[in-house]
Amino acid sequence: MIVTEIDWKWKSGLSVRAKTNYVVLHHAAAKACSPYQVDSWHKANGWSGIGYHYFIRKDGTIYRGRPEWATGAHAQGKNHESIGICVEGNYDEEYIMPDDQKEAVKAVLRDIKLRYPNTTVKGHKHVGATGCPGKYYPLSEMMTYYRNIIPKESEKLNMTQYEELKKEIDTLKTRIGYFNYIDENMNESYKPTVQKLVDIGVLRGNEKGELMLTTDMMRIFTVLDRTGVFN
């Protein structure tokens, strides 16, 4: 999933959202609009800037609005515990969501569900007095999709694995000397996480500079990294 970043200028500071229980779905109620327009509308409301965490255009381009850690401004009463996703379009008047946009919403939902497995998804109208995200928005399809997202084997992390990992990390921490290179043969998908852990000193090698990581451990580190625990 590619998220297009925008260097937003916030009018005032953003606050950290302490909990995440819901994902709230919205439409912009405008048939064509850019994330910049949404930002200017929200600033005109007196808000810090775009209130959603994600804004998805009809062509499927996914834009980052507020950083995901920040409290949004999209669902009164639920902002302190939810992530907001808005789509371009007016789904009170447009009958069909383009496939590219629909797939992009699902990609964002999947990404969020893997990081916040205990969340549920709701339409804005389920938590506030509004018709948003519009009567033709594929809301029940999205809710069913979200409920049925099952992490792939490689994305699963159960508590046993977590406890084992913690033990492994403690063992690794006691090893002497920093590991300062990444094995050329290491699976590409593990490299960014392993390099990061080396950089921040969580992983150290033995005196030969060997990390002694099993594939399982690299996999678990990578999954953990996605949850943000190493940030």
List of residues contacting Zn ion (CB under 5 A): 26, 124, 132
Q: Which is nearer to Zn ion, 2 or 129 (CB)?
A: 129
Cis, bond preceding 138 (omega within 30 deg of 0): no
Q: Which is nearer to Zn ion, 42 or 124 (CB)?
A: 124
Closest contact distance (angstroms) between CB of 135 and Zn ion is 13
Closest contact distance (angstroms) between CB of 36 and Zn ion is 18
Q: Which amino acid is at 181?
A: Y
Q: Which is nearer to Zn ion, 113 or 124 (CB)?
A: 124
Q: Which is nearer to Zn ion, 137 or 221 (CB)?
A: 137
CA distance 193 to 218: 8
Q: Which is nearer to Zn ion, 34 or 195 (CB)?
A: 34
* DSSP per residue, 202-230: S----TTS-----HHHHHHHHHHHHHTTT
Q: How far is residue 170 from each of residues 223, 224, 231, measured CA to CA in Å?
A: 18, 15, 18
- Stretch (H or E) spanning 167: helix 159-174
Q: Which is nearer to Zn ion, 78 or 113 (CB)?
A: 78
Closest contact distance (angstroms) between CB of 25 and Zn ion is 8
Closest contact distance (angstroms) between CB of 45 and Zn ion is 13
Closest contact distance (angstroms) between CB of 202 and Zn ion is 40
Q: Which is nearer to Zn ion, 104 or 132 (CB)?
A: 132
The residues near 126 (Cβ < 8 Å, ≥ 6 apart) are none
Closest contact distance (angstroms) between CB of 84 and Zn ion is 8
The residues near 165 (Cβ < 8 Å, ≥ 6 apart) are 217, 220, 221, 224
Q: What letter does residue 57 receive in the DSSP assignment?
A: -
Closest contact distance (angstroms) between CB of 144 and Zn ion is 20
Three-point CA angle 23, 25, 28, nearest 5° = 145
Q: Token pair 């809710």 is at which residue?
A: 143
CA distance 65 to 227: 20
